[in-house]
Structure 1
Amino acid sequence: MVYRYESDEDAFEGRPRSGSDLSVAWNRPPARTGPAPSRFPTPSLPRTSRIALPAATPPPPPAYAPPPPAAPRPAPPADGYATTQPLHLPRSRRARDTGRRGARLWQVVFGGAAVLALFALCGLGGAALLADRATDPEAAPNPPAAAPSPSPTERQDIDSRDTDPAPLTVKEVFPGREVTVDDGAEPYAVLKTQSSGSCAVAASGEVADLLATLGCNQVVRASLRSPDGDHLLTAGLFNLTDKATAQRVRDRLRQLLDDREGRFRGLPAGDDTEALTEAPARVGWQVRGHYLAYCMVVRADGEPVKAADPKIREILFDLVETHLTKGVLERRATGGSAGQPTATPSASDEADSEND
Structure 2
Amino acid sequence: MVAYTKRDIETWAELMARSFAAAGLTRNDIIHNAYGYGLFTGGLGAHYGAEKLGASVIPMSGGNTKKQIMILQDFGPTAICCTPSYLLFLAETGEEMGIDMKSLRLRVGILGAEPWSERMRAEIESRLDITALDIYGLSEVMGPGVAMECIEGRRGLHIFEDNFIVEVIDPATGEVLPDGQRGELVFTTLTKEAFPLIRYRTKDISRLMREVCRCGRTFVRMERISGRSDDMFIIRGVNVFPSQIESVIMEIEGLEPHYMLILDREGSLDTLEIQVEVSEKIFSDEIRKLQTMERRIAKDIKDYIGISAKIKLVEPKSLQRFEGKAQRVIDKRNI
Q: What range describes the TM-score normalised by the shorter chain of this pair?
A: under 0.3
> TM-score, with normalisation over the residues of structure 1?
0.23
**Rg larger for:** 1
More strand by share: 2
